[in-house]
Amino acid sequence: RAKADGRNRHHFYSRALHGEIQRQQQLRHDLRAALDAGQFWLAYQPKVNPASGELLGAEALLRWNGPDGPVSPAMFIPVAEETGLIVPLGRWVLREACAQARRWSDDGHALPVSVNISAAQFGETGFLETVQEELRASGLSAHLLELEVTETILMRHVEHVQRNLAALRALGVQVSIDDFGTGYSSLSYLHEFPVTTLKIDRSFLAPGRSGPQATALITAIIGLGRALNLQVIAEGVEQPAQVRALLDLGCAAMQGYLFAPPLPPAAFEAWRRDWPAQHAALTAQA
């Protein structure tokens, strides 16, 4: 009786597993087809210093126009990670972003571009070579490329990561820790990673979290950045009051809907031409 139960359970699990494998293969197939069909594109969101008006860079954010309309990266990035398709897809992002930054540079408006990197990509043997090849192919100067990695990546294979980061920094590539404060990076390790920037996660700026506690956390991250000689940028800035608070705390680099949402390349160019006027208006308000 127990034996039969065990066998049934086994059948059940293997059938469920088989279904799961099929589902993964289907999703991987759909994403691969979308990549081949040219359904992906990159949006660019500016990073600014609202005190000086300086444009600091642009983050490339992946977009998918699926057959039934746009699909959020929050939906398809995890699938791409699970299925391994993030490696070719991430390489496409790197290539496209480098090509865009090279065009800006050629047009006389050089601007650093930031590219999000998944753990599966960063962990690939050959990731360093991929970055080097895409820099070479695009002719982009390495200091105009920034990679955004997460705390999860850093903590996974510490020695491998340290070597990779050191090699990237030696090339001149900038590296920031994205969504900082939401992962579980060990502060005692942080100074051993040759990164350039901490990016404060937007959840710390969410309206529901404003108040003394959120301010204390943001203050702590800014202090940590200063102690470790790292740049600090805040993401998810939506309100003028947040700008004032961040400037008071000593964080002048910001990104968020208040300045611009992620924009298609042509709209980004238009925003860029308009930004000096927008900055003047923001400054007059403050």
Q: Contact positions toward Mg ion, by CB under 5 A?
A: 116, 148, 178-179, 235
Cβ 177 vs Cβ 200: under 8 Å: no
Please give the residue whose beta carbon sits closest to ligand C2E in the complex: 256
Q: In the structure encoding, which two tokens stand for residue 160, read together?
A: 């491998």
Nearer to ligand C2E by Cβ, of 105 and 242: the residue is 242
Q: First and final CA of the chain: distance in angstroms?
A: 76
Least Cβ distance, residue 114 to ligand C2E (angstroms): 8
Alpha carbons within 13 A on the beta-carbon side of 160: 13
86/73 Cα distance (integer angstroms): 12
Nearer to ligand C2E by Cβ, of 132 and 203: the residue is 203
Least Cβ distance, residue 36 to ligand C2E (angstroms): 17
Partner from Mg ion, ligand C2E, none binding residue 123, C-beta < 5-8 Å depending on class: none
Q: Contact positions toward ligand C2E, by CB under 6 A?
A: 45, 61-62, 72-74, 77, 90, 93, 116-118, 148, 178-179, 202, 235-238, 256-257, 262
Q: In the structure encoding, which two tokens stand for residue 249, read together?
A: 């705390």
Least Cβ distance, residue 84 to ligand C2E (angstroms): 13
Compute how many other C-beta atoms are within 10 angstroms of the C-beta atom of residue 26. 11
Least Cβ distance, residue 51 to ligand C2E (angstroms): 18
Q: In the structure encoding, which two tokens stand for residue 31, read together?
A: 């994403």
The enclosing H or E element of 190 equals helix 187-190
| Cβ within 8 Å of residue 276, ≥6 positions away | 53
Partner from ligand C2E, Mg ion, none binding residue 221, C-beta < 5-8 Å depending on class: none
Nearer to Mg ion by Cβ, of 150 and 164: the residue is 150
Least Cβ distance, residue 144 to Mg ion (angstroms): 17
